[in-house]
């Protein structure tokens, strides 16, 4: 059986991708910080083998230990890494921002992705045409008002994806960067620190992407033939034109 590692599997895109990959016949390795969520999710993923572990991707030693702890039959058959764990914290002018928020975003979105990639690439390279998929954002393609550090972190993901495509070319690992626009998950609730009213307003007056839209995009990427590498996908709601322009009813 082929196995896929998904970071940030306890919610949103990561959870939806887990269901999609189960349907494609993959065994699953699911990481996130919230153990209770992972346990509940594992209980619903009854059609495949599921391995879960509590993991904060900001902790390099913990990342290395988590990968080293994988059972041999899983470690020997990792064909997919989905670097999905990430977050925005706060939105506003830089001079009014908090360094703690910046650190959380940069440590998770950038350094966590580096730690995980570094630990898993030796497993992926055993299998020609395996996949490394990074969740960037429309915020990695352009900047918008109040997005400063989140946009910087996702621009970094975009750049790392391009660099990995060069670094991993000779290892025949396909690298894809996914750049979604506004998607209704727990993302805005996290960004606005539990303020449900502000989080809900983000999606007011238009139909945002759903987590399943991203999961289906991952399915498309993984189901291409060996000679096809989907390098970069920007996917937005029909009501979104760029990082900041929406058609609201």
Q: Does residue 191 touch ligand NDP according to CB under 6 A?
A: no
Kindly state the smallest distance separating residue 247's Cβ from ligand 8X3, in Å. 15
Q: Does residue 28 touch ligand 8X3 according to CB under 6 A?
A: no
Subset of residues 227 to 246 that bind ligand 8X3, contact rule: CB under 6 A: 243
User: Is the CB of 149 or the CB of 168 nearer to ligand 8X3?
Assistant: 149
- Tell me how far apart the alpha carbons of residues 135 and 28 are, in angstroms, rounded to a whole number: 18
- Tell me how far apart the alpha carbons of residues 207 and 190 are, in angstroms, rounded to a whole number: 20
The CB density around residue 87, as the number of other CB atoms within 10 Å, is 16
Active site (catalytic) residues: 150
Stretch that binds ligand NDP, among 39-47, 116-124, 164-172, 177-185 (CB under 6 A): 177-185
Nearest-CB residue to ligand 8X3? 137
Q: How far is CA 12 from the centre of its chain?
A: 10
Nearest-CA neighbor of 28 among 209, 14, 37, 175? 14
Q: Does residue 83 touch ligand 8X3 according to CB under 6 A?
A: no
Q: Does residue 137 touch ligand 8X3 according to CB under 6 A?
A: yes
Q: Does residue 17 touch ligand 8X3 according to CB under 6 A?
A: no
Stretch that binds ligand NDP, among 64-72, 85-93, 165-173, 226-234 (CB under 6 A): 85-93
Contact 26, 221 (CB under 8 A): no
Provide the H-helix boundaries in the chain. Answer: 12-23, 35-44, 60-68, 72-75, 99-105, 113-124, 148-167, 187-191, 196-201, 211-222
Nearest-CA neighbor of 29 among 76, 78, 86, 94? 78
Q: Does residue 53 touch ligand NDP according to CB under 6 A?
A: no
CA angle 213, 232, 163 (to 5 degrees): 135
Kindly state the smallest distance separating residue 179's Cβ from ligand 8X3, in Å. 8
Contact 170, 118 (CB under 8 A): no
Kindly state the smallest distance separating residue 79's Cβ from ligand NDP, in Å. 21
Among 3, 26, 115, 187, binds ligand NDP (CB under 6 A): 187
Q: Does residue 139 touch ligand 8X3 according to CB under 6 A?
A: yes
Q: List contacts with ligand NDP (CB under 6 A).
A: 7-14, 32-34, 37, 55-58, 84-87, 108, 112, 135, 137, 180, 182-183, 185-187, 190
């Amino acid at each position: 059986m082929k196995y896929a590692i998904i970071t940030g599997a306890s919610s949103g895109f990561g959870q939806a991708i887990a269901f999609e990959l189960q349907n494609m016949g993959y065994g699953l390795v699911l990481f996130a910080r919230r153990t209770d969520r992972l346990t509940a999710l594992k209980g619903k993923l009854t059609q495949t083998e599921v391995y879960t572990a509590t993991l904060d991707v900001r902790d390099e030693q913990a990342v290395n230990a988590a990968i080293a702890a994988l059972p041999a039959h899983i470690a020997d058959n990792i064909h997919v890494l989905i670097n999905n764990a990430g977050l925005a914290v706060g939105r506003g002018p830089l001079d009014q921002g908090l360094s703690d928020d910046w650190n959380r975003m940069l440590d998770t979105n950038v350094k966590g992705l580096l730690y995980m990639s570094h630990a898993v690439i030796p497993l992926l390279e055993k299998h020609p045409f395996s996949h490394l998929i990074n969740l960037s954002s429309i915020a990695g393609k352009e900047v918008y008002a109040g997005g400063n550090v989140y946009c910087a972190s996702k621009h970094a993901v975009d750049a790392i994806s391009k660099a990995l495509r060069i670094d991993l070319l000779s290892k025949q690992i396909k690298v894809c960067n996914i750049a979604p626009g506004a998607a209704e998950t727990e993302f805005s609730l996290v960004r606005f620190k539990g303020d449900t009213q502000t989080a809900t307003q983000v999606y007011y007056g238009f139909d945002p992407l759903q987590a399943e839209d991203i999961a289906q995009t991952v399915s498309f990427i993984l189901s291409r033939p060996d000679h096809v590498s989907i390098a970069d996908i920007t996917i937005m709601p029909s009501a979104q034109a760029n990082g900041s322009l929406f058609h609201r009813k």
